[in-house]
Structure 1
Amino acid sequence: MADLEVWQYACIGLLFVWSGFVRSGLGFGGAVLTLPFLLILLNAPLVFLPIIAVHLLFFSALTIGLAKWEARRRREADQNTPADTVNWAFLRYALPLMLVPKLIGVAGVITLPADVVSAFIFALVSIYAVSYILNRPFRSGSRRVDALFMIIGGYVSGTSLVAAPLVVPVAASRVRREQLRDTLFVLWFILVGIKLAAFVISGVDLQWEHHLWLLPCAAVGHVLGLRFHRFTLRAETSMFFRVLGGGLLAVSLAGLARIFLGY
């Protein structure tokens, strides 16, 4: 990024503020809702992907740690308060389905053109998103369909950054909203950790010098996102699902724009 103009650096900093806000506010979408705009400024995915991956690992671990500490403190005052903000049962269900497809995707084994797969996913998830926005969330009603979504999500996670639109609807139907964000954070931590290890093995530059100024930018967005997340938890259930649906729809539209506009 050495040849960029000052205004481009400023835009990149603001986009990482946005990335931190979305990540901590919703628990997903920090990469997908940011990367298309970053690539307009500098069309070099391997410059930004390692930075985003490291940020996700750092802030997800920080958020989960703080959430567990707050949950224990609340439980001391009220024994009816759940002791954990992570739904480990869902992770035990999801990870066995996702890990092998994830490794296949990381290895670069392509069965269909990536844009075809992504476009199909984004179009499908747009339907889910609209149903959430209209407060009429629907479920597949089939364990096999849910499992298929998780398997495809694992593969797509290995090849790109669009697993959330497939995984989030399944998780939202199985996990209480108070646990949804932190459960997703643990899942992303594991999956992104595998992706980052692949970067290291492949010799990809992790851009450590740019973390010095982009990490504080993401931290500002992270704090704002935490406040937004608390607001959604206090809001009524219909409001929560509308926010969830709005996030999914924004992710899907950003992904479709990237595919059809070719950036």
Structure 2
Amino acid sequence: MSSLAAYQYVLIALIFVWSGFVRSGLGFGGAVLSLPFLLLVHDQPLVFLPIIAVHLLVFSSLTIWLNNRRTSAERRAGERRESTVDWRYLWYLLAVMMVPKLVGVFGLITLPSRVLSAIIFVIVAIYALSYLFNRPFRSNSRVVDIIFLMVGGYISGTSLIGAPLIIAVAAQQVAKEKLRDTLFALWFILVFIKLAAFIWADVDLQLLHHLWLLPCAAVGHVIGLKVHRRMLQAETPVFFRVLGAVLLTVSAAGLVQAFL
């Protein structure tokens, strides 16, 4: 990213603020709702995916730790606080998704960047339509659950944007108040695997750019935490419809750009 114009750096900074906001506000979407915009600024997925991965590791672990720490008064009283992570269901998710995840990571490393960008934009367009028409992915059987999880694991391996399929299953099995942190724990493990693959494949982790992009994501993260508290009491279908329309527009523009 060292050769970009000044306006591109500004756009990237704003997109990472948005990324931090949706990640902490929704429990997912840090990649799926920001990567299309990033690729319009600079069409190189392997430049941004390591940065997104590190951000997810940092902020997901920090959020889970803060939500599960005990106060000094609780420790003195010997009180036990119930975990905000549904660990039992988390291990089930990992058991189903691990092999497809690893296959997807291999595909990420070997696919040309233009092909990968096109795949990402197509997937995001499908998600955008589900948001736009208020028809989120849902499963009604154990077999469909497993299919969704395996496909979501593979997509997560290729581009970090398999969350909507995974959430279609997890949201029906995990209590609302535990869903976000359970997803954070899942993303942490899956992204750690991806980051290890990046290191093994000698992918540039863009470490220098973390110095200015981590604070950008932190600003969005703090705002998102406040929004998340409000969203636990209310649903926001209008927000997702607007978001779907924007994502669909961005994906269409990205597909045109990828094939020009």
TM-score range, shorter chain: 0.7 to 0.9
Match of 1:91 in 2: 90
Q: Distance in 2 between matches of 1:121 and 1:7?
A: 25
Between 117-126 and 167-176, the greater mean CA deviation after superposition: 117-126
Q: Deviations over 1:170-207 (max 9, x none)?
A: 11111111111111111111111111111000001111
1:36 CA displacement: 1.5
Are 1:15 and 2:15 an aligned pair? yes
Are 1:199 and 2:202 an aligned pair? no
Contact 2:124 2:251 in 1 (8 A): no
Q: Distance in 2 between matches of 1:124 and 1:17?
A: 21
Q: Which amino acid aligns with 1:187?
A: L
Are 1:50 and 2:25 an aligned pair? no
Structure 1 residues 255 and 157: CA distance shift in structure 2, 3 A: farther
Structure 1 residues 28 and 244: CA distance shift in structure 2, 3 A: farther
1:252 CA displacement: 6.3
Report SS of the residue matched to 1:107: helix
Match of 1:35 in 2: 35
Q: Deviations over 1:70-107 (max 9, x none)?
A: 69989999x8x961111112212211110011111112
Match of 2:126 in 1: 123
Unpaired segments of 5 or more residues in structure 2?
A: none
Match of 2:156 in 1: 157
1:259 CA displacement: 5.9
Between 120-129 and 167-176, the greater mean CA deviation after superposition: 120-129
Contact 2:36 2:251 in 1 (8 A): no
Match of 2:69 in 1: 69
1:161 CA displacement: 2.4
Structure 1 residues 65 and 138: CA distance shift in structure 2, 3 A: same
Structure 1 residues 120 and 22: CA distance shift in structure 2, 3 A: closer
Q: Which amino acid aligns with 1:32?
A: V
Structure 1 residues 147 and 14: CA distance shift in structure 2, 3 A: same
- Percentage identity across paired residues of the two chains: 55
1:255 CA displacement: 7.6
1:225 CA displacement: 0.6
Q: Distance in 2 between matches of 1:121 and 1:15?
A: 16
Contact 2:68 2:81 in 1 (8 A): no
Q: Distance in 2 between matches of 1:150 and 1:201?
A: 26
1:30 CA displacement: 0.8
Structure 1 residues 251 and 188: CA distance shift in structure 2, 3 A: farther
Q: Distance in 1 between matches of 2:87 and 2:243?
A: 23
Alignment RMSD (CA, Å): 3.4
Q: Distance in 2 between matches of 1:29 and 1:231?
A: 18
Contact 2:37 2:250 in 1 (8 A): no
Q: Distance in 1 between matches of 2:165 and 2:4?
A: 35
Q: Distance in 2 between matches of 1:248 and 1:198?
A: 31
Q: Deviations over 1:97-127 (max 9, x none)?
A: 10011111112299xx865797468537844
Contact 1:106 1:159 in 2 (8 A): yes
Residue-pair matches, total: 251
Q: Distance in 1 between matches of 2:187 and 2:249?
A: 20
Unpaired segments of 5 or more residues in structure 1?
A: none
